[in-house]
Structure 1
Amino acid sequence: MEAHIDLWLAASIVAMSLLLSAFFAGAETAFTAASRARMLSLENAGDARAAIVNRILAVRERFIGAMLIGYNIVAIGASAFMTSVLTAVFGKSGVLYATAVMSVLVIVFAEVLPKTLAITKAEQAALLMARPVAFAVALLGPPALAIEAVVRLMLRPFGVSIGEHQSILSPTEEIRGQVALLHREGGVAKAERDMLGGLLDLSDLSVSEVMVHRTTMRTIDADLPSQEIVREVLASPYTRMPLWRGTPENIVGVLHAKDLLRALDAAGGDASRLSVEALALETWFVPGTTSLRDQLKAFLTRKTHFALVVDEYGEVMGLVTLEDILEEIVGDIADEHDVAVSGVRVQPDGSVNADGGVPIRDLNRAMDWNLPDEEATTIAGLVIHEARTIPDQGTAFNFYGFRFKVLRKARNRIATLRITPLPPPPAAKRED
């Protein structure tokens, strides 16, 4: 009768120990895998359990130490108790039986099962166990602190500090990686991924990388008759036109189409009575090294949408607008007055004919490619950088998994390129 009672007592103690072990193992997995952003959002929404989770994760080493201490105490205690009981019943062979039985029970019910459940529903599990875990951390805090101090002393000769949580990645890179992962898993659409990526890139890009180059700027000679200036403004797809005098680099003002039309209406439609230069707005010059983030803030502060970009010598490089910056976030913004030719023409065979001045970022976004843009801004610049020369018409190069062929060259400038994705290289055959 006593032996029967002892077996039931042993089974009860083992079951309780396995439950506690499962709790500690599952809690460690759930709290580690839980989204910090999700927990912070819930805490801001007033969830007290999320606040407890965040408070515990703020002392991560102490939390992990407490969970490991609790897990090992109950697991080792259960194994020792089971061994003593089975040794008393079966003799020396009871050690083997206890080892086999406890190994299966611990691995299945105290490790794999709770950790699988916890990592599948990490946030829900962390919220559910928040208060019990807080109690366990408070109870096991002193021994966890002592163990943490010992571990610090042991790691100090190796130059390792367990108090530093800083990731080797910047916060921007962390967000970018998370967005890329969600896109790969289908949680974020390509357009949303591109928008988030463009927003994160604003600090890394300068206005010189997105500006309209001076060779393609639509400008007006201020010395032209007023009637001709009106015709040029009406024929232009843009509402703001730089005015120059003497040379195109000598910008004397910016003419707004609305101001011109108001003045024309006030003059009874007689363009000859207009003083166009008097209508021009003051020119705003910005350095080409200004980041897009700073330029966006400046546009919002000055409540204007247009600026001329100059280099370190004060020479005009091009112009940048608020729309240029917004397009880096949301992609190409087209309206009924935009020029239809975008510079990228997809061919039936999957290749792309692109103007040399097409920005690499725009081509990557349009085709979902990943051509590098660190060394060059335009696709022609990338080819010249890789070729280390200005290639002749008909010359072709293979790099970055693409074939680049120069279709047309104008003087020392690559005008048009054909870009063809190359098939992936065949897998190397194994030699027996």
Structure 2
Amino acid sequence: MSVEYEMWMGWAALGILVLLCLSAFFSGSETALTATSKARMLSLDRDRNRQAGRVLHLIEDKESLIGAILLGNNLVNILASTIAATVFLAMFGEAGVPIATLVMTALVLIFAEVMPKTYAISNPDRMALAVSLPIRIVVILFSPVVATVQAVVRGALRMLGADVSGPVLSAHEEIRGQIDLHHEEGGVVKVDRDMLGGVLDLRELTVDDVMVHRKSLIMLDIEDSPDTLVRNALSSPHTRLPLYRGDPENIVGVLHARDLARALHEAGGDAGRIDIEAIKREPWFIPETTELLDQLSAFREKREHFALVVDEYGALMGIITLEDIIEEIVGEIEDEHDIALEGVAVQPDGTVIVEGTVPIRDLNRALDWNLPDDEAVTVAGLVIHEAQTIPEAGQIFRFHGVQFEILERRRNQIQRLRLKREPEVKG
């Protein structure tokens, strides 16, 4: 065997080794840059980390990033396989081709694919920062070829009728999906999941989704005697009470328990001396279509905690308080006057007795169910919407994986129901 042949074999082996290293670099970089935490990179970028800035720039255009990495990876893999085939042909003749195929497949699979990707999955942020500069250079060098490939691919996909317009999920949907995923994996407890989901829901809900309906309100007639008004106000569990004159639709003010207590003290405890007109506050009316997030901001700006909700014709629909909005985030806030999810009673047999006025969202949170609340706010409203009729007592309906049995109906209102979660059908 000549010296020249030995040198050629040595250089060939070295070339294959270098190309396998490059293949491992491209494979690990692809995994690291696609798995890295964008939130973590944003945090580092705010701290003026140049590597994090490059990573963010790269992952903003993932199509070009993946295209450049795949192009580089295929080039080095094909070149390494070609050199290996040449070497093994020289060593074993015609049998060298299958031998080279087997050897290179094993080497590429183990050292250029599985090993670097395993490390990248375990350390995505660290590796992404480390490879950001060389990958940035690769993307710039290969950009003309990648752009041509992208144009061909997109044209072919459009001819096949595929939609390549972009992502189908909004940022909120992606965040919600991540929260649900971590909850299923045990990384986020139910309370935290509900709170994070509640924050995301504020933009999607309007005040009529969470308000206290007018039929559940305690209102006072300002024409009543001061003694009667004070007695009724002090017996109420609420600190703010709407005042009307003659007709409950004619709201003229709001009576605050703190103002009443101050006036009662100044009057020496004599309720008859209190001038309700003088201590009442001006009512604040808002439309029922107001988004919860906007109403939360309005509460903060006006430093108010209470508003009356009206429809497009000015008719009173209910009230909304700051506590109602906060409860959409943190869950029910109970005090000594509250009942834990009033109107819901879990029975020993696992069924749930529910009043028709219970909000679907509150029921879902309490029982960890997933009943839809797009078309109805209350449980009774959901049954009527799904049944397309006002059911009679004793009727049973099944939808959304829950059995609804009507226990009591009064006039056209469903008063009470028995709910039973049906077992999931597998297969």
Common fold by TM > 0.5: yes
Match of 2:13 in 1: 11
Supply the distance in 2 between the matched residues of 1:55 and 1:307 (Cα, whole angstroms).
Answer: 46
Whether 2:116 is the aligned partner of 1:128: answer no
1:326-337 alignment runs, 5 A limit? 326-337=326-337
Give me the TM-score of the superposition, normalised by structure 1.
Answer: 0.92
* 1:317 aligned counterpart, secondary structure: strand
Whether 2:112 is the aligned partner of 1:110: answer yes
Supply the distance in 2 between the matched residues of 1:341 and 1:28 (Cα, whole angstroms).
Answer: 49
Deviates more, 1:40-49 or 1:234-243: 40-49
Supply the distance in 2 between the matched residues of 1:420 and 1:156 (Cα, whole angstroms).
Answer: 48
Match of 1:78 in 2: 80
1:257 CA drift (Å): 0.8
1:32 CA drift (Å): 1.6
Pick closer, same or farther for the CA change 1:259–1:181 going to 2, 3 Å: same
> Is the Cα contact below 8 Å between 1:24 and 1:70 reproduced in 2?
yes
1:334-365 CA distance string (max 9 Å, x none): 11233566111111111111111000000000
Instruction: List gaps (5 residues or longer) in structure 2.
Output: none
Pick closer, same or farther for the CA change 1:422–1:148 going to 2, 3 Å: closer
1:53 CA drift (Å): 0.6
Instruction: List gaps (5 residues or longer) in structure 1.
Output: none
* 1:199 aligned counterpart, secondary structure: helix
> Is the Cα contact below 8 Å between 1:252 and 1:283 reproduced in 2?
yes
1:389 CA drift (Å): 1.6
> Is the Cα contact below 8 Å between 1:244 and 1:252 reproduced in 2?
yes
Supply the distance in 1 between the matched residues of 2:347 and 2:319 (Cα, whole angstroms).
Answer: 31
Supply the distance in 1 between the matched residues of 2:163 and 2:37 (Cα, whole angstroms).
Answer: 24
1:148 CA drift (Å): 4.5
Supply the distance in 1 between the matched residues of 2:375 and 2:9 (Cα, whole angstroms).
Answer: 74
Supply the distance in 2 between the matched residues of 1:292 and 1:362 (Cα, whole angstroms).
Answer: 16
Match of 1:252 in 2: 252
1:382 CA drift (Å): 0.9
Give the percent of matched residue pairs that are identical in Structure 1 and Structure 2: 53
Deviates more, 1:248-257 or 1:90-99: 90-99
Match of 1:374 in 2: 374
1:197-212 alignment runs, 5 A limit? 197-212=197-212
Q: What is the alpha-carbon root mean square deviation over aligned residues?
A: 2.1
1:333 CA drift (Å): 0.7
1:136-151 alignment runs, 5 A limit? 136-145=138-147, 147-148=149-150
1:33-92 CA distance string (max 9 Å, x none): 222222212212333221111122234333223222321222121111111122122222
Deviates more, 1:100-109 or 1:254-263: 100-109
Supply the distance in 2 between the matched residues of 1:251 and 1:404 (Cα, whole angstroms).
Answer: 38
> Is the Cα contact below 8 Å between 1:237 and 1:339 reproduced in 2?
no
Corresponding residue pairs, total: 425
Supply the distance in 2 between the matched residues of 1:48 and 1:128 (Cα, whole angstroms).
Answer: 11
Pick closer, same or farther for the CA change 1:218–1:49 going to 2, 3 Å: same
1:116 CA drift (Å): 2.9
Pick the aligned partner of 2:28 from 11, 21, 26. 26
Match of 1:187 in 2: 187
Match of 2:62 in 1: 60
Letter in 2 for 1:14: I
Supply the distance in 1 between the matched residues of 2:280 and 2:413 (Cα, whole angstroms).
Answer: 34
Match of 1:397 in 2: 397
1:271 CA drift (Å): 1.3
Supply the distance in 2 between the matched residues of 1:256 and 1:70 (Cα, whole angstroms).
Answer: 72
Match of 2:422 in 1: 422
Letter in 1 for 2:105: S
1:141-194 CA distance string (max 9 Å, x none): 4544454456566667668797x5x41112211111111111111121111111
1:276-329 CA distance string (max 9 Å, x none): 122110111111111111111111111101111111111111111111111111
Supply the distance in 2 between the matched residues of 1:371 and 1:68 (Cα, whole angstroms).
Answer: 44
